[in-house]
């Protein structure tokens, strides 16, 4: 793996390798070995053109726990505000010896340009580009789903024996995940649909027609406009094993429909039809978990009761993000197929 730009680029063995490596990383953290020497002398640059809390801090923590040097670059307050181009910024980072560049950008495709334009020798990691992709979010979501669901009973149709890690998959074969809300603007939804499909899970997108992108029918998932019916399930499938609520991205919408964005939905109407509240929690199967990538609009797509319920794994998703990002940086900068994580036990 040279870069991590999109979950569509990940084969099933690649994805399982990242999740297995993340489990090794998490094991080191739980053994109080907070810092591994693996990336000593390497430099990771966090290049953020859009705001972030979880992703930026998580990558910084992950890099530091692998002993890398970290440079945090925020477009606000930098020479970007004087008009400096992405190319000149990249050449500056190259001159400073960046080994990995973690980039968040408002333009879909910016990480791809950075990776392939020839301006950088560094590995490029997409930390969210426009409405396109957020691969490490999908990986930490898959990791969280695996932790909660792979031990519970389901005869995975066609699942292979336990000796071949790639064939065994992530333990998500046959699982059902409902992804609910503002799919139109969500790079998290796009990333998850492709990764979960690769890992053998079934995905249902639930959204109002106005918040679904053109071409969604070609994605490897089902589409529904009816949240209650999806959560209740049917006799053939039962309800979902996990429900992933999406943030309504107000900043990418406009009340007047200007700027190419969708109209901002009526909040009361939206919550009534597509919000996860206490009543809808009651429709879920006993083992089902509630996820949200954050930041949440409490009272809009998710009620406080749902966000704070024992089923919610939202804070755990954040914690798992550190182990997953450690795994990604490790595999990009130091890893090989056979490599073991220094100081870490084998993954379970």
List CB contacts of 236: < 8 A, sequence separation 6 or more: none
Nearest-angstrom CA–CA distance, 225 and 36: 47
Residue 250 within binding range of ligand CP, rule CB under 6 A: no
* Residue whose CB is less far from ligand CP, 186 or 230: 186
* Residue whose CB is less far from ligand CP, 36 or 245: 245
* Residue whose CB is less far from ligand CP, 93 or 102: 102
Phi then psi for residue 251, to 5 deg, are: -70, -15
Q: Is the peptide bond between 295 and the residue preceding it cis, with omega within 30 degrees of 0?
A: yes
Task: Report helix, strand or coil for 323.
Answer: helix
User: Is 175 known as a binding-site position?
Assistant: no
Please identify which residue in 21, 126, 131, 137 interacts with ligand CP, judged by CB under 6 A. Answer: 137
User: Least distance from C-beta 293 to ligand CP, angstroms?
Assistant: 4
148-187 residues in contact with ligand CP (CB under 6 A) are none
User: Is 64 known as a binding-site position?
Assistant: no
Residue 123: strand pairing partners: 100
User: Is 134 known as a binding-site position?
Assistant: yes
* Interface stretch with ligand CP, choices 50-58, 76-84, 95-103, 230-238 (CB under 6 A): 50-58
Nearest-angstrom CA–CA distance, 137 and 59: 11
> Both tokens of residue 195?
């990764």
User: Least distance from C-beta 171 to ligand CP, angstroms?
Assistant: 23
* Residue whose CB is less far from ligand CP, 13 or 294: 294
Burial label, 68 (beta-carbon count in 10 A; 0-12, 13-18, 19+): buried
> Both tokens of residue 276?
């996860």
* Residue whose CB is less far from ligand CP, 101 or 344: 101
Residue 315 within binding range of ligand CP, rule CB under 6 A: no
User: Is 82 known as a binding-site position?
Assistant: yes
Task: Please give the residue ranges that form the binding site for ligand CP (CB under 6 A).
Answer: 52-55, 128, 137, 293-295
């Amino acid at each position: 793996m040279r870069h991590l730009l999109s979950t569509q680029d990940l084969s099933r063995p690649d994805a399982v390798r990242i999740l297995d490596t993340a489990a090794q990383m998490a094991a080191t953290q739980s053994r109080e070995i907070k810092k591994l020497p693996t990336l000593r002398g390497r430099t990771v640059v966090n290049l953020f053109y859009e705001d972030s809390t979880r992703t930026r801090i998580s990558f910084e923590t992950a890099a530091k726990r692998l002993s890398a040097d970290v440079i945090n670059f925020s477009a606000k307050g930098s020479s970007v505000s004087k008009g400096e181009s992405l190319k000149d910024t990249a050449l500056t980072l190259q001159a400073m010896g960046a080994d990995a560049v973690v980039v968040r950008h408002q333009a879909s495709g910016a990480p791809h340009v950075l990776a392939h334009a020839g301006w950088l020798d560094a590995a490029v990691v997409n930390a969210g580009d426009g409405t396109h992709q957020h691969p490490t979010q999908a990986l930490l979501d898959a990791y969280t789903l695996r932790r909660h669901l792979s031990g519970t009973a389901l005869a995975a149709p066609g699942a292979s024996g336990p000796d071949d890690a790639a064939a065994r998959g992530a333990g998500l074969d046959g699982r059902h995940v409902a992804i609910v809300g503002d799919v139109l603007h969500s790079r998290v939804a796009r990333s998850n649909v492709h990764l979960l499909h690769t890992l053998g899970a079934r995905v249902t997108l639930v959204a109002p027609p106005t918040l679904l992108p053109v071409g969604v029918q070609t994605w490897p998932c089902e589409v529904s406009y009816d949240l209650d019916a999806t959560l209740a399930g049917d006799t053939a499938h039962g309800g979902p094993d996990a429900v992933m609520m999406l943030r309504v991205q107000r900043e990418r919408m406009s009340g007047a429909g200007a700027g190419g964005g969708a109209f901002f939905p009526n909040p009361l109407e939206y919550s009534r039809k597509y919000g996860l509240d206490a009543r809808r929690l009651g429709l879920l199967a006993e083992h089902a978990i509630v996820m949200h990538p954050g930041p949440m609009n409490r009272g809009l797509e998710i009620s406080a009761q749902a966000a704070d319920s024992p089923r919610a794994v939202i804070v755990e998703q954040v914690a798992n993000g550190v182990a997953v990002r450690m795994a990604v940086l490790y595999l990009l900068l130091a890893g090989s197929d056979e490599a073991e994580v220094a100081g870490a036990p084998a993954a379970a």
